[in-house]
Protein backbone atom coordinates (compact mmCIF):
# COMPACT_ATOMS: atom_id res chain seq x y z
CA UNK A 1 0.00 0.00 0.00
CA UNK A 2 3.01 2.27 0.54
CA UNK A 3 3.74 2.95 -3.10
CA UNK A 4 0.05 2.85 -4.00
CA UNK A 5 -0.96 5.78 -1.75
CA UNK A 6 -0.16 8.60 -4.22
CA UNK A 7 -1.79 6.64 -7.08
CA UNK A 8 -4.88 5.88 -4.96
CA UNK A 9 -5.09 9.53 -3.95
CA UNK A 10 -5.10 10.74 -7.56
CA UNK A 11 -7.63 8.11 -8.70
CA UNK A 12 -10.15 9.24 -6.06
CA UNK A 13 -9.26 12.92 -6.49
CA UNK A 14 -10.16 12.78 -10.19
CA UNK A 15 -13.62 11.35 -9.36
CA UNK A 16 -14.34 13.54 -6.31
CA UNK A 17 -16.52 16.66 -6.30
CA UNK A 18 -14.66 20.01 -6.24
CA UNK A 19 -15.53 20.43 -2.54
CA UNK A 20 -14.25 16.94 -1.68
CA UNK A 21 -11.09 17.75 -3.65
CA UNK A 22 -10.51 20.75 -1.36
CA UNK A 23 -11.00 18.53 1.69
CA UNK A 24 -8.60 15.94 0.27
CA UNK A 25 -6.01 18.65 -0.35
CA UNK A 26 -6.28 19.84 3.25
CA UNK A 27 -5.93 16.29 4.57
CA UNK A 28 -2.96 15.52 2.35
CA UNK A 29 -1.18 18.81 3.09
CA UNK A 30 -1.78 18.98 6.84
CA UNK A 31 -2.56 15.47 8.02
CA UNK A 32 -6.03 16.69 9.01
CA UNK A 33 -8.77 14.28 9.99
CA UNK A 34 -12.30 14.44 8.63
CA UNK A 35 -13.68 16.08 11.81
CA UNK A 36 -10.95 18.74 11.83
CA UNK A 37 -11.86 19.71 8.27
CA UNK A 38 -15.62 19.69 8.82
CA UNK A 39 -15.18 21.93 11.87
CA UNK A 40 -13.27 24.64 10.00
CA UNK A 41 -15.07 27.98 10.30
CA UNK A 42 -14.74 31.16 8.27
CA UNK A 43 -12.79 32.66 11.19
CA UNK A 44 -10.32 29.72 11.05
CA UNK A 45 -9.44 30.54 7.45
CA UNK A 46 -9.51 34.35 7.57
CA UNK A 47 -7.10 35.75 4.99
CA UNK A 48 -5.82 38.31 7.50
CA UNK A 49 -4.86 35.59 9.98
CA UNK A 50 -1.49 33.81 10.23
CA UNK A 51 -2.83 30.69 8.50
CA UNK A 52 -5.51 28.04 8.90
CA UNK A 53 -6.48 27.04 12.45
CA UNK A 54 -7.48 23.40 12.92
CA UNK A 55 -9.24 22.23 16.09
CA UNK A 56 -7.92 18.82 17.03
CA UNK A 57 -10.32 15.91 17.39
CA UNK A 58 -8.91 14.21 20.43
CA UNK A 59 -9.38 16.07 23.68
CA UNK A 60 -10.37 15.38 27.25
CA UNK A 61 -13.87 16.23 28.39
CA UNK A 62 -14.23 19.81 29.67
CA UNK A 63 -10.70 20.63 28.47
CA UNK A 64 -10.07 23.64 26.25
CA UNK A 65 -9.91 22.41 22.64
CA UNK A 66 -6.36 22.23 21.34
CA UNK A 67 -5.69 24.05 18.09
CA UNK A 68 -3.00 23.66 15.45
CA UNK A 69 -1.88 26.37 13.03
CA UNK A 70 -1.01 25.62 9.41
CA UNK A 71 0.85 28.78 8.29
CA UNK A 72 -0.08 30.18 4.90
CA UNK A 73 1.68 28.83 1.83
CA UNK A 74 0.72 29.53 -1.79
CA UNK A 75 -0.81 26.05 -2.08
CA UNK A 76 -2.80 26.43 1.15
CA UNK A 77 -4.13 29.84 0.07
CA UNK A 78 -5.15 28.33 -3.27
CA UNK A 79 -7.11 25.49 -1.61
CA UNK A 80 -8.90 27.85 0.80
CA UNK A 81 -9.70 30.30 -2.01
CA UNK A 82 -11.23 27.47 -4.05
CA UNK A 83 -13.25 26.35 -1.02
CA UNK A 84 -14.55 29.89 -0.44
CA UNK A 85 -15.53 30.26 -4.11
CA UNK A 86 -17.41 26.95 -3.99
CA UNK A 87 -19.12 28.13 -0.80
CA UNK A 88 -20.23 31.35 -2.52
CA UNK A 89 -21.74 29.35 -5.38
CA UNK A 90 -23.78 27.26 -2.94
CA UNK A 91 -24.96 30.42 -1.20
CA UNK A 92 -25.82 31.99 -4.55
CA UNK A 93 -23.42 34.81 -3.78
CA UNK A 94 -25.74 36.14 -1.07
CA UNK A 95 -24.42 37.10 2.35
CA UNK A 96 -26.65 35.84 5.15
CA UNK A 97 -26.48 34.76 8.76
CA UNK A 98 -24.73 31.61 7.48
CA UNK A 99 -21.73 33.79 6.66
CA UNK A 100 -20.92 34.81 10.25
CA UNK A 101 -17.29 34.13 11.17
CA UNK A 102 -18.43 31.14 13.24
CA UNK A 103 -20.15 29.54 10.21
CA UNK A 104 -18.52 26.45 8.67
CA UNK A 105 -16.24 26.78 5.68
CA UNK A 106 -17.73 23.78 3.91
CA UNK A 107 -21.42 23.67 3.02
CA UNK A 108 -23.28 20.96 1.15
CA UNK A 109 -25.35 21.57 -2.01
CA UNK A 110 -28.28 22.76 0.09
CA UNK A 111 -26.15 25.37 1.83
CA UNK A 112 -26.10 23.41 5.10
CA UNK A 113 -23.07 22.29 7.11
CA UNK A 114 -21.69 18.92 6.08
CA UNK A 115 -22.59 16.03 8.38
CA UNK A 116 -20.32 13.04 8.92
CA UNK A 117 -22.91 10.86 7.17
CA UNK A 118 -23.00 13.19 4.16
CA UNK A 119 -19.22 13.31 4.07
CA UNK A 120 -18.92 9.51 4.25
CA UNK A 121 -21.43 9.10 1.40
CA UNK A 122 -19.55 11.61 -0.79
CA UNK A 123 -16.22 9.90 -0.07
CA UNK A 124 -17.59 6.43 -0.80
CA UNK A 125 -19.13 7.63 -4.09
CA UNK A 126 -15.76 9.04 -5.20
CA UNK A 127 -13.85 5.94 -4.06
CA UNK A 128 -16.30 3.59 -5.82
CA UNK A 129 -16.10 5.68 -9.02
CA UNK A 130 -12.31 5.34 -8.80
CA UNK A 131 -12.64 1.55 -8.64
CA UNK A 132 -12.14 0.96 -4.91
CA UNK A 133 -14.25 -1.38 -2.81
CA UNK A 134 -15.94 -0.27 0.40
CA UNK A 135 -12.99 -1.07 2.68
CA UNK A 136 -10.04 -0.54 0.34
CA UNK A 137 -9.16 3.15 0.61
CA UNK A 138 -10.23 5.43 3.45
CA UNK A 139 -10.13 9.20 3.87
CA UNK A 140 -7.99 8.54 6.94
CA UNK A 141 -5.32 7.10 4.60
CA UNK A 142 -4.67 10.68 3.48
CA UNK A 143 -3.35 11.45 6.96
CA UNK A 144 -0.90 8.56 6.55
CA UNK A 145 0.09 9.99 3.17
CA UNK A 146 0.79 13.40 4.74
CA UNK A 147 2.86 11.89 7.55
CA UNK A 148 4.74 9.56 5.20
CA UNK A 149 5.67 12.48 2.95
CA UNK A 150 6.84 14.66 5.87
CA UNK A 151 10.49 15.70 5.77
CA UNK A 152 11.37 14.06 9.10
CA UNK A 153 9.92 11.95 11.91
CA UNK A 154 9.55 15.09 14.04
CA UNK A 155 7.69 16.89 11.26
CA UNK A 156 5.47 13.83 10.80
CA UNK A 157 4.72 13.74 14.54
CA UNK A 158 3.62 17.39 14.51
CA UNK A 159 1.55 16.90 11.36
CA UNK A 160 -0.14 13.87 12.90
CA UNK A 161 -0.57 15.42 16.37
CA UNK A 162 1.32 12.54 17.97
CA UNK A 163 3.05 12.61 21.34
CA UNK A 164 4.89 9.31 20.86
CA UNK A 165 7.27 8.86 17.90
CA UNK A 166 6.46 5.14 18.12
CA UNK A 167 2.88 5.85 16.99
CA UNK A 168 4.09 7.85 14.01
CA UNK A 169 6.57 5.16 13.02
CA UNK A 170 4.37 2.10 13.60
CA UNK A 171 0.97 3.23 12.36
CA UNK A 172 1.45 6.03 9.88
CA UNK A 173 4.87 5.99 8.26
CA UNK A 174 4.42 3.84 5.18
CA UNK A 175 7.60 4.50 3.27
CA UNK A 176 9.62 1.38 2.62
CA UNK A 177 12.93 1.22 4.48
CA UNK A 178 15.80 2.44 2.36
CA UNK A 179 19.38 1.32 2.99
CA UNK A 180 22.30 2.61 0.93
CA UNK A 181 24.42 -0.33 -0.31
CA UNK A 182 27.89 -0.65 1.18
CA UNK A 183 30.91 -0.43 -1.13
CA UNK A 184 32.02 -3.74 -2.54
CA UNK A 185 34.58 -5.61 -0.47
CA UNK A 186 38.21 -4.85 -1.46
CA UNK A 187 39.11 -8.56 -1.39
CA UNK A 188 36.20 -9.44 -3.67
CA UNK A 189 37.15 -6.68 -6.14
CA UNK A 190 40.81 -7.78 -6.24
CA UNK A 191 39.83 -11.40 -6.84
CA UNK A 192 37.59 -10.43 -9.79
CA UNK A 193 40.34 -8.28 -11.35
CA UNK A 194 42.89 -11.12 -11.09
CA UNK A 195 40.55 -13.39 -13.08
CA UNK A 196 40.36 -10.92 -16.00
pLDDT per residue as tens, the chain (196 positions): 444 567 888 999 999 999 999 999 999 888 888 999 999 999 999 999 999 999 886 655 666 778 888 899 999 999 999 999 999 888 765 666 567 888 999 998 888 899 999 999 999 999 999 999 888 888 877 777 766 766 666 666 666 666 676 766 665 555 555 566 767 766 655 655 666 6
Q: Which residues of 118-144 are buried (b: 16+ CB within 10 A; e: fewer)?
A: ebeebbeebbeebebeeeebebebbbb
- The set of residues, in sequence order, having a beta carbon less than 8 Å from that of 130 and lying 6+ positions away, is 8, 11, 12, 14, 15, 137
- Check: pTM over 0.95? Answer yes or no: no
pLDDT at 2: 42
Amino acid sequence: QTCALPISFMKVYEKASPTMQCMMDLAQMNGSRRGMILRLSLADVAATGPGVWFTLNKRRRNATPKRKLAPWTDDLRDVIQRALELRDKVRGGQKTVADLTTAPLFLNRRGKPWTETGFNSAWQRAARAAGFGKHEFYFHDLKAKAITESASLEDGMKRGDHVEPRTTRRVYTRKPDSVVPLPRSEEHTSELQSRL
